[in-house]
Every structure is written in C-alpha cells, then in structure tokens.
C-alpha cells in the first residue's frame, strides 16, 4: 500500500488579527501541493477547520480557488478538494540587462502567458527607459486582450537587474551597470505604469523562479548560484528570499578569490559568462550568442573546455563558501548559461570541496542543475509581485504580534 505524500505547508496561527497571514498560508499550501480538501488543509496548517472553511469561502468569492470533483475515500464522508485558479492573479516581470530587456506575464501559479524582448541602446536609461516602458506596455495590452479581467487582477510589476545597488562603482567596469543603478528606475516605472514596482538583483530573481516552478520548489533552505553575465547567489532561507539590508544579499561574484592578490580579482571576473565572452573574444550583444555558446559547448570546443577548466575551480570554491555560510539543503546552479555549457561546468566542478554539507544521509545532491534559460530572470521578476501579494511572511506576523503586545 502506497503511503500518502506529506502535505507541504507552513503553520497558520489561530491568534486574532492574523487572518491575512492564514490566507497566505492556505494559498501557498495549494500552490505547493495542488488541490487539497478543507480537512487536509486544516491538518497541514494546524488551523481549525472553521478557520480553514472561512478562508476557503473567502478565496472562492474572490476568484482565487475553485472546488474540484468530490472525492470518496473509504467509508468516510466524501471530500471536496480545492485548487488555485490560475487566472486569479497576474503579474508582469521585467529584466534589464546590459544589452537586452525582457518582459513576461505570468498567472497565479507561475505559468508564463506572454513574453517579449527588445534591444537596449548603449546610452543606458537616457533612452533605454522608453524602450523598457514600451515593452511593458505591449505585454500588458496583450495580457488584457487575453483575459478580460486581467487589468483588475494585475498585482504588480517585478523588475530585476544586475547589482550591487547603492554603491559607488566605475562607469567603465563592464560588470557594472552604473548608469542604470543610479537611475530612479522604480519611481520612473511606477509613474509610467501605475503599478506597484519591486526591484531585486538578477540572482535573487532567478532564485524566485526556482522557488516558484523550479528545483527549489518546496525547499526551505537553498542557495541558487546564478551564472549570468556576472555571478550572484539567490538566498532562500527559512522558505523566504533573503535580500540583505540594501538588496545586495548574495553578491558572491564580488568576493575576492585571494586577499593577497594585488589585482583584487573577484569570482565573477574569472568564472562568469562575461569572462567566457572575453576568453572567446566574442561580442555579448551579438544576436544568437546563447545558441552559439551552447552549440560550441556541446561540440567540445577546445577554447570553451579551456575556460571551463579554470572557471570550475573557482566555482567549486564558491559552492564551498555558500555551503559553509548558509548550510543549505542544496546548491542550485542556474541562470543564463546554455544547458550544454552548464552541464559540462557542473561535471568539471566535481568532486566538490569538503564542507559541512558533505554528510551521510543526504536526500538531495549538494549541487544540482536548475534553470538554464535566458528568460528565467524575467520569470523570477514576475514571480516577485505574486509572492509579495500571496506568500506567507513570518516577519509580518512578528510585527503584528509586537503591535498587539504594545497596544495591550
């Protein structure tokens, strides 16, 4: 007899004043597990059956859940599972990179409905912001044409771009996007779209995508090692994305490989896709670069294999670093590298360096492959407003509890 799979869910709270949190807990449980009955939800979330019933009724009225066909189990009363309505909410995600901008529209469960991209001009936001606004507007118009209530159910615009944010940098540093980072992007996009706008770095966005529909789905502790033009680490800690005090959490690409190095060489200067472009002497802005790199990696191009040999050694150290500091369940290599390149790179990184993660009885590999898709950052950016609107946040519960204690 097959044992039923455990239901993945956070605990709700039966204290007064926390109904918003409980609503988010129910939505997340349905997102993680699929359709569940009220009794299943009550057991998994530790909420009373009456609380669950009230929330389900409310969510059904709001068009966020829908009953499924009644299920008969054994001699007990039949139960009615409830599932999320994909069209219950929509969001738009925007990626701004050095040479291109991408936009996607997703529904409540993270399905990509639309996508579009445009080249960015070389003069940065001076003219690029108009390109970005036009791209978002085009996707929004197409989304509204697809679903008549999409505008009313559009919960926000998520934006992702390379960090770090809020530091002084060198305008000539090819790994930085100094002009865009100094530009009032959030304010400009909010004014131009009328939407609530959230900004995160590209590594965090990729981790958000992995958490929603990828290898980090259902995990409480994971580090997503983002390999793109630069390098970053998206940090999923206690089931929430950790961004740091200034939005720069996980900027591992800036970590120095050796404090004794007079050139102060950082990880991303040796092991990012930008370093590969330099090694191959190709223009990263040229069309077809992603496919070209993938074909060359699959064909075992000697120059790519040479880069992999040196990059793998540095990334092996990067995995050791994040394992030692964050103790994740797994490290996920993800980002905009073509899959043939990412797989060869992962193979070259083995064996990994010893760390506290190297322990018996592991259920997940220390290192696994995640998304290898140039659209994953835009997807993660779109997932951010969905998460902001519907994911449980225990920090909010602590704040509510503190305000209740202060008021009492």
Q: If you average pLDDT over residues 254-274, what whole number do you get?
A: 84
| Whether residue 366 is found in the same domain as residue 232 | yes
Q: What is the pLDDT of residue 165?
A: 81
Q: If you average pLDDT over residues 23-41, what whole number do you get?
A: 92
Q: If you average pLDDT over residues 65-81, what whole number do you get?
A: 84
pLDDT class of 246 with cuts at 50, 70, 90: confident
Domain annotation covers residue 36? yes
Return the minimum-mean-pLDDT range out of 37-51, 54-68, 175-189, 216-230.
175-189
Domain C-terminal end among 84, 99, 132: 84
Coil vs helix vs strand at 333: strand
| Whether residue 170 is found in the same domain as residue 237 | no
pLDDT surpassing 50 at residue 63? yes
Q: If you average pLDDT over residues 152-170, what whole number do you get?
A: 85
Q: If you average pLDDT over residues 290-302, what whole number do you get?
A: 96
Domain annotation covers residue 402? no
Domain annotation covers residue 54? yes
Q: If you average pLDDT over residues 210-215, what whole number do you get?
A: 90
- Pair of tokens at residue 70: 């009644």
Domain annotation covers residue 274? yes
Q: How many CB atoms lie within 10 A of CB 84?
A: 23
| Whether residue 224 is found in the same domain as residue 368 | yes
- Pair of tokens at residue 15: 């204290």
| Whether residue 195 is found in the same domain as residue 312 | no
Q: How far apart are CA 168 and CA 80, in angstroms?
A: 57
Task: Say if residue 351 is preceded by a cis peptide, omega within 30 of 0.
Answer: yes
Domain annotation covers residue 171? yes
Q: What is the pLDDT of residue 255?
A: 86
| Whether residue 198 is found in the same domain as residue 326 | no
pLDDT single digits (tens) 301-341: 999 999 999 999 999 999 999 999 999 999 999 998 999 99
| pTM to 2 decimal places | 0.86
Domain C-terminal end among 84, 110, 136: 84
Q: What is the pLDDT of residue 173?
A: 53
Q: What is the pLDDT of residue 399?
A: 42
| Dihedrals phi, psi of 325, to nearest 5 degrees | -80, -40
| Whether residue 124 is found in the same domain as residue 155 | yes
| Whether residue 264 is found in the same domain as residue 321 | yes
Measuring CA to CA, how many Å separate 85 from each of 31, 147, 247, 362, 391?
A: 10, 13, 32, 35, 16
Dihedral sign for Cα 6, 9, 10, 13, please: negative
Q: How many CB atoms lie within 10 A of CB 61?
A: 9
Q: What is the pLDDT of residue 385?
A: 93
> For the chain, what is the domain count?
3
Q: What is the pLDDT of residue 402?
A: 42
Coil vs helix vs strand at 43: helix
Q: If you average pLDDT over residues 355-374, what whole number do you get?
A: 94
pLDDT single digits (tens) 187-202: 999 999 999 999 999 9
- Pair of tokens at residue 17: 């004043």
The H-assigned helical ranges of 164-301 are 178-182, 185-193, 202-213, 268-271, 273-280, 289-298
Coil vs helix vs strand at 310: helix
| Whether residue 333 is found in the same domain as residue 186 | no
pLDDT class of 213 with cuts at 50, 70, 90: confident
pLDDT class of 9 with cuts at 50, 70, 90: low
Q: What is the pLDDT of residue 397?
A: 41
Domain annotation covers residue 395? no
Phi-psi region of 327 (alpha: psi -120 to 50; beta: other; left: phi over 0): left
| Whether residue 117 is found in the same domain as residue 169 | yes
Domain annotation covers residue 407? no
Mean pLDDT, all residues of the chain: 88
The b/e string for 292-329 (b: 16+ C-beta within 10 A; e otherwise) is ebbebbeeebeebeebbeebbebbbbbbbbbbeebebb
pLDDT class of 392 with cuts at 50, 70, 90: confident
Q: Domain containing 18 — which CATH number?
A: 1.10.10.10
pLDDT surpassing 70 at residue 396? no
| Whether residue 135 is found in the same domain as residue 270 | no
Dihedral sign for Cα 84, 89, 95, 100, please: positive
| Whether residue 176 is found in the same domain as residue 273 | no
pLDDT single digits (tens) 83-118: 999 999 999 999 999 889 999 999 999 999 999 999
Q: What is the pLDDT of residue 401?
A: 40
Q: Domain containing 144 — which CATH number?
A: 3.30.420.40
Domain C-terminal end among 32, 56, 84: 84
User: In the chain, what percentage of residues exceed pLDDT 90?
Assistant: 67
Q: How far apart are CA 224 and CA 214, in angstroms?
A: 11
Q: What is the pLDDT of residue 175?
A: 53
| Whether residue 192 is found in the same domain as residue 336 | no
pLDDT surpassing 90 at residue 404? no
**Helix axis angle, 185-193 to 125-146, nearest 10°:** 40
Q: What is the pLDDT of residue 3?
A: 45
Q: Are 204 and 234 in contact (CB under 8 A)?
A: yes
Domain annotation covers residue 288? yes
- Pair of tokens at residue 93: 């995600």
pLDDT surpassing 60 at residue 398? no
Range of the domain at 39: 7-84
CA angle 117, 207, 321 (to 5 degrees): 130
């Amino acid at each position: 007899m097959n044992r039923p799979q455990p239901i993945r869910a956070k605990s709700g709270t039966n204290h007064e004043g926390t109904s918003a949190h409980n609503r988010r807990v129910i939505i997340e449980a349905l997102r993680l597990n699929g359709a569940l009955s009220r009794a299943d939800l009550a057991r998994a979330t530790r909420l009373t059956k009456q609380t669950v019933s009230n929330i389900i009724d409310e969510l059904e009225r709001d068009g966020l859940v829908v009953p499924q066909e009644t299920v008969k189990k054994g001699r007990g009363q039949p139960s009615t599972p409830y599932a999320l309505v994909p069209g219950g909410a929509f969001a738009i995600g925007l990626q701004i990179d050095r040479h291109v901008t991408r936009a996607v529209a997703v529904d409540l469960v993270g399905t990509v409905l639309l996508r579009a991209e445009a080249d960015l001009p070389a003069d940065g936001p001076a003219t690029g912001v108009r390109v970005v606004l036009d791209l978002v507007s085009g996707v929004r118009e197409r989304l509204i044409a697809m679903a008549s209530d999409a505008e009313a159910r559009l919960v926000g615009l998520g934006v992702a771009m390379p960090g770090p944010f809020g530091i002084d940098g060198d305008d000539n540093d090819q790994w930085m996007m100094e002009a865009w980072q100094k530009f009032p992007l959030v304010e400009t996009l909010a004014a131009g779209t009328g939407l609530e706008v959230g900004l995160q770095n590209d590594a965090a966005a990729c981790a958000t995508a992995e958490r929603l529909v990828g290898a980090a789905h259902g995990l409480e502790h994971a580090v997503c090692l983002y390999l793109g033009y630069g390098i970053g680490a998206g940090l999923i800690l206690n089931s929430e994305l950790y961004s740091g005090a200034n939005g720069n959490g996980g900027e591992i690409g800036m970590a120095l490989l050796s404090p004794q190095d007079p050139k102060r060489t950082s990880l991303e200067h040796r092991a990012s896709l930008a370093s590969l472009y330099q090694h191959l002497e190709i223009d990263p802005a040229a069309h077809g670069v992603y496919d070209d790199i993938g074909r060359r990696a699959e064909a075992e191009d000697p120059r790519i294999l040479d880069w992999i040999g040196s990059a793998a050694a540095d990334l092996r150290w990067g995995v050791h670093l994040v394992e030692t500091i964050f103790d994740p369940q797994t490290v996920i290599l993800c980002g905009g590298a073509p899959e043939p390149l990412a797989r060869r790179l992962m193979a070259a990184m083995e064996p990994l360096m010893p760390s506290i993660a190297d322990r018996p009885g592991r259920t997940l590999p220390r290192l696994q492959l995640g998304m290898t898709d140039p659209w994953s950052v835009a997807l993660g950016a779109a997932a951010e407003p969905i998460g902001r609107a519907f994911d449980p946040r225990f920090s909010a519960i602590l704040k509510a509890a503190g305000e209740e204690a202060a008021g009492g």
